[in-house]
Structure 1
Amino acid sequence: MLAPAYSNIVLRPHQETSVETVRQKMREKQRRVILVAPTAFGKTECAAWIIQQSLDKGARAWFIVDRVTLINQTSKRFYSYGIDHGIIQAEHPLTDPTKQIQIASAQTIAKRSFDYLPDLIVVDEAHCEYQAVLDLIERAGRAYVIGLTATPFTAGMADHWDALINGATVNQLLAQKWLTPLRIKACVTPDMQGAKKKFTGEYEDEEAGQRGIIIIGDVVQTWVEQTQKHFGRPVKTIVFSPSVKHGEELCRQFAEAGFNFQQISYLDGSDRERQDKIDEFSKPDSAIHGLVSCAVLTKGFDVPDVLCGISCRPYRKSFSSHIQEMGRVMRTAPGKEFGLWLDHSGNSIAFADDTAWLYEYGVGSLSDAEKRDSTVREPTEKVRREHFCHNCGMKLEAGVDTCVGCGETRRKRGEIEIVHGELIDLDITTRATFQPRKGLRADCLDDPRAMWNAALAYTLANSSKGEEAARKWAYGVWRGIYPGSKLPYGLFDAPCHQSTVKASEYQLIEREIRRFRKQPRRAA
């Protein structure tokens, strides 16, 4: 039996804070706690550290993964931490129900009945919401439960968890060099107008794939040009494809161009065949230039030296899938300064505001978060017109009308130029996405969420027509400050925190309202 080696897990400062917050919530008898944090935060390490501590107390702990294929990967990590464990899976060589720590898949949990239940349950990828796991949590009524996720946007999650902890935001991890920044290129996309849709509101896979096949030549050409420009050579790449047929055609055209791209999908002949491709791709000197993924690799995939991601699968609602996909390219690796994201789906534009908000602020509450995956968003030319040079495609700095790349002047409102297939840089920061009205200058304007809270605090205190009217008034004030932006989904109904409003924020809101009242009344 392996002895636990507690020194194997050295928590980073943000992990230590999160672990202590989880334990504090449990001391407060909040039984089901969900830890929300981006890719590369180290959520598994946090959970493993807590599991290690439970061993000395004689507690039973189960770590539940969302797919059978992740069992062995998780087992290797636990052994690297010095955590002895058994595995709940038919005919697995590590099956041993006497072990305090067990690793299981949600699928196996659904097929088994148990004479004993754990004292601690850790649910990886908790946003997947398997009914069998929810039933287990209900039956193990005295067990503490920790959920791990980067994207808690599934409908109904607010009913299943007692407390939410934001471990860190993407921007915080970027600043601390625990994540690699992305350079995003919004590229030519297929025409999805009139495309068939599933009952979920997303595009039919085959429909999206068929339309995507038309632009595969652009996908290959753009990849060749951009990897040469940014890295001076072909680099490891992941492609997210909408259908198997699309992926096959993509691999064929990459092969014609002299590059080895291999598809992995839910139709693979065996898990071993898929794993062999992933193992080869994981080698530093891999013979595979890229993996083309159809409905796999959006989570649980860890090849840090991937330098490029290609998005070919358009989403209308699934913000979580977009975030999960980009996370596959954001892990750090020696010598990796940035990741390149080539967007042939339009997702980076459609979800630009949501992405900027999530990266800056994290998740406010589960009830608000689930709205992120339930509302249709469509890519528009608005982001292109407002944030990028119409001449050279360089990103325009906030508040600057002249492009630093070519000296061109930013186009005025109403001057619209659409260039199909034009390659542009896309910035996903709140500073670029939520730009204040020209002429407004104040440090507090860099925090659009705080400005919304300040506007809401003012209108709630000064409206005589009830809360709904006060919120509409606050939205009008906020839009006057950020005229080209929309309030992110869920924030309109979020609670107001009057105690956090700064004097500078409140004073700016007062000035804006006085300014509006001085304007001539519009004719009816």
Structure 2
Amino acid sequence: MVNFTPSKEIHLRDYQANAIDGLRAGIRGGKRRLILCAGTGAGKTLTAAHLLKEADRKGSYALFIVDRVALVGQTSAVFDEYGIDHGIIQGINERWRPRENVQVCSAQTLAKRTLPRDPDLIIVDEVHCQYKATLDYIDRNPQAIKIGLTATPFTKGMGEHWDDVINVIPTRRLIEQGHLAEPKIYVAKSPEDADLGLNSYGEFSDGSASTAGIQIIGDVVQEWEGKTSEHFGGPAKTIVFSPTVEHGRELCAAFNAAGYNFQQISYLDRDDSERAEKIAEFRRPDSLITGLVSCGVLTKGFDVPDVAVGISCKPYRKSLSSHMQEIGRVMRGHADVPKKLWLCHSGNVERFALDMFDVWENGAGPLDHSTKQDSTPRERNEQVREKVVCPECSGAMRGHSCMSCGWEKPARSGIVAVEGELQEFSMADTMQPRAGLRADCIKDPRKVWEGALAYTSENTRKGEIVARKWAAGIWRGVYPSAKLPFGWFDMPIPNGVDHGALSLVEREVKRFRKNKRRAA
């Protein structure tokens, strides 16, 4: 097929260009397997397109591997848009042109095909999925540079296959810059954890989630009708995530009975063309389909920016990545849909909100830390609910305010009673410094943070994100048992700081380097 539409130029945002510089620095340092980590909307595919266009210009053979057949066409369309000549390796495809320098590959098909050249560059989309066929293919091509793309590098074992992670930009910054829309999150009726069984991996089993979830399908439809009427004046384009095909079928029946056209797509669809037709219709601005109910299909990489509502009906016990991938499907910005909603009927917001907001604020962190995020069961109890659910509207709390209605928790009194005396409450009372520190500034943790941030910003050449993470490490060295307060990580870099705090930070850096040399 010949495309006569003029191709667009790739214009990288500053943070995308910095990410590419980070990749190149890692490669120069001998690392050949690097993960590029950035949230939904950061432009991972566009950044990869730039790398592929450069590879094509140099005559290198480059592969872009996706794990879903549905994503082959979506990726190919993006590459066409930017004038990247490419072939497609996926089943029987009319675009089978294996001698093109750039190839879009289905992971399943690639494992069965012989290519005319060994690849120089392999880019793996949604790399956290860790398919054996893809990992084996990577191992068979040690000469190639490998770059993995993901918003959630949390899968256990990723550290065994990848050398390092380049964190691009936190989700909170993307929201503030207008690249993403932060959804209003509502915690609705969901099955009790006691009604959910576990599978062999320690996750909630799909069968038990389906059985328990079917009991509240009426509540799902009613909640959706109420919230879309309140926020949009009527029905709005929706994606629903269900645990099983049976549950999805019941959901569709309930929505259709209420007069709304909801269609199911799943891994059990008879053929790819049927699913593709539904997705193509759903993408239309005037789509006849109000909602798609997905069972194991649209969790990752599926982007329809004018989707207004997401409904979570599939509960997770450990998988922060699955929860974040799903909510990411409704965070794409769109001029005609400035408001987005997330309706949680799974309990996932209560389990994962605190961790999710931390990743949104601070990024995924180093690989050895991030890969533990999907291995820990989350508790869902009254203490957690009090922190994350607004008592006024059942919206999600971020810090002390509700993301949906704006309600704020009453301010904590600045005075506490101790043995009949009134004493002023101080942040330092809850943030104990490391034993042996005696600097006056440690009584004011914020001064120490500002000193650390000013010092690292002045003394690193690796960019602002690295400076902030370095500062967080210094601050944790001073207050090892405390967590950096909400909002501090992204505060503006201070111009003037406390000299005592700056001196403390310099001593801490020297101490760390001395201990490191001694350990070596």
Kept in 2, the 8 Å contact 1:4–1:84? The answer is no
Quote how far apart the aligned CAs of 1:455 are. 6.3
Quote how far apart the aligned CAs of 1:192 are. 2.9
Counterpart for residue 477 of structure 2: 457
TM-score, with length taken from structure 2:
0.78
* Number of residue pairs the alignment of both structures matches: 451
Q: Partner of 1:51: helix, strand, or coil?
A: helix
Counterpart for residue 290 of structure 1: 291
**In the superposition, relative to structure 1, how do residues 214 and 178 fare at CA in structure 2: closer, same or farther (>3 Å)?**
same
Moved more, 264-273 or 324-333: 264-273
**In the superposition, relative to structure 1, how do residues 441 and 399 fare at CA in structure 2: closer, same or farther (>3 Å)?**
farther
Q: How does 1:189-208 map to 2 (within 5 A)?
A: 189-208=190-209
Give the counterpart letter for 1:220 in structure 2.
V
The answer to whether the aligner puts 1:18 opposite 2:38 as a matched pair is no
Counterpart for residue 236 of structure 2: 235
2: CA distance, partners of 1:87 / 1:177: 33
Kept in 1, the 8 Å contact 2:88–2:95? The answer is yes
Deviations 1:490-517 (A, max 9, x none): xxxxxxxxxxx99659989xxxxxxxxx
Counterpart for residue 279 of structure 1: 280
Q: Partner of 1:379: helix, strand, or coil?
A: coil
Give the counterpart letter for 1:45 in structure 2.
L
Q: How does 1:282-321 map to 2 (within 5 A)?
A: 282-321=283-322
Deviations 1:44-66 (A, max 9, x none): 11111111112232211111111
Deviations 1:114-172 (A, max 9, x none): 46311111111111212222222222222111111111111211122222111111001
Counterpart for residue 270 of structure 1: 271
Q: How large is the Cα RMSD of the aligned pairs?
A: 3.5
Quote how far apart the aligned CAs of 1:35 are. 0.4
Kept in 2, the 8 Å contact 1:192–1:211? The answer is no
Kept in 1, the 8 Å contact 2:401–2:409? The answer is no
1: CA distance, partners of 2:397 / 2:163: 43
The answer to whether the aligner puts 1:67 opposite 2:68 as a matched pair is yes
Quote how far apart the aligned CAs of 1:15 are. 1.3
Counterpart for residue 116 of structure 1: 117
Counterpart for residue 158 of structure 1: 159
The answer to whether the aligner puts 1:85 opposite 2:105 as a matched pair is no
Give the counterpart letter for 1:457 in structure 2.
G
Instruction: Give the ranges of 4+ consecutive aligned residues of structure 1 lying more than 6 Å apart after TM superposition.
Output: 1-6, 394-397, 404-408, 444-452, 505-508
2: CA distance, partners of 1:301 / 1:397: 26
Q: Which runs of 5+ in 1 are unaligned?
A: 413-433, 460-473, 486-500, 509-524
Deviations 1:89-119 (A, max 9, x none): 3432111222111121111122234463111
Quote how far apart the aligned CAs of 1:213 are. 0.8
Give the counterpart letter for 1:36 in structure 2.
C
Counterpart for residue 425 of structure 1: none
Deviations 1:362-403 (A, max 9, x none): 1212221111111111322224324555455577786799xx
Give the counterpart letter for 1:313 in structure 2.
K
2: CA distance, partners of 1:3 / 1:308: 35
**In the superposition, relative to structure 1, how do residues 334 and 139 fare at CA in structure 2: closer, same or farther (>3 Å)?**
same
Q: Partner of 1:52: helix, strand, or coil?
A: helix
Counterpart for residue 184 of structure 1: 185
Quote how far apart the aligned CAs of 1:7 are. 5.7
Q: Partner of 2:270: helix, strand, or coil?
A: coil
2: CA distance, partners of 1:72 / 1:281: 15
Counterpart for residue 364 of structure 1: 365
Kept in 2, the 8 Å contact 1:391–1:408? The answer is no
Give the counterpart letter for 2:205 in structure 1.
E
Quote how far apart the aligned CAs of 1:222 are. 0.6
**In the superposition, relative to structure 1, how do residues 22 and 223 fare at CA in structure 2: closer, same or farther (>3 Å)?**
same
Kept in 2, the 8 Å contact 1:390–1:411? The answer is no
Q: Partner of 1:324: helix, strand, or coil?
A: helix
**In the superposition, relative to structure 1, how do residues 58 and 125 fare at CA in structure 2: closer, same or farther (>3 Å)?**
same
2: CA distance, partners of 1:198 / 1:215: 22
Kept in 2, the 8 Å contact 1:392–1:405? The answer is no
Q: Partner of 1:77: helix, strand, or coil?
A: helix
2: CA distance, partners of 1:106 / 1:14: 29
**In the superposition, relative to structure 1, how do residues 202 and 77 fare at CA in structure 2: closer, same or farther (>3 Å)?**
same
Counterpart for residue 50 of structure 2: 49
Deviations 1:248-290 (A, max 9, x none): 1111111121111111111111111111111111111111111
2: CA distance, partners of 1:435 / 1:385: 24
Give the counterpart letter for 1:13 in structure 2.
D
2: CA distance, partners of 1:111 / 1:407: 57
Give the counterpart letter for 1:200 in structure 2.
Y
The answer to whether the aligner puts 1:216 opposite 2:217 as a matched pair is yes
Kept in 2, the 8 Å contact 1:458–1:506? The answer is no
TM-score, with length taken from structure 1:
0.78
Kept in 1, the 8 Å contact 2:186–2:396? The answer is no
**In the superposition, relative to structure 1, how do residues 55 and 410 fare at CA in structure 2: closer, same or farther (>3 Å)?**
closer
Counterpart for residue 347 of structure 1: 348
**In the superposition, relative to structure 1, how do residues 394 and 151 fare at CA in structure 2: closer, same or farther (>3 Å)?**
closer
Kept in 1, the 8 Å contact 2:310–2:342? The answer is yes
Counterpart for residue 257 of structure 1: 258
Counterpart for residue 515 of structure 2: none
Counterpart for residue 521 of structure 1: none
2: CA distance, partners of 1:220 / 1:7: 42
1: CA distance, partners of 2:398 / 2:101: 55
Quote how far apart the aligned CAs of 1:19 are. 1.8
**In the superposition, relative to structure 1, how do residues 76 and 436 fare at CA in structure 2: closer, same or farther (>3 Å)?**
farther
2: CA distance, partners of 1:450 / 1:48: 30
2: CA distance, partners of 1:277 / 1:198: 31
Give the counterpart letter for 2:29 in structure 1.
E
1: CA distance, partners of 2:473 / 2:71: 42
Give the counterpart letter for 1:327 in structure 2.
G
Quote how far apart the aligned CAs of 1:442 are. 6.3
Q: Partner of 1:264: helix, strand, or coil?
A: strand
Kept in 1, the 8 Å contact 2:98–2:115? The answer is no
2: CA distance, partners of 1:255 / 1:148: 37
**In the superposition, relative to structure 1, how do residues 13 and 208 fare at CA in structure 2: closer, same or farther (>3 Å)?**
same
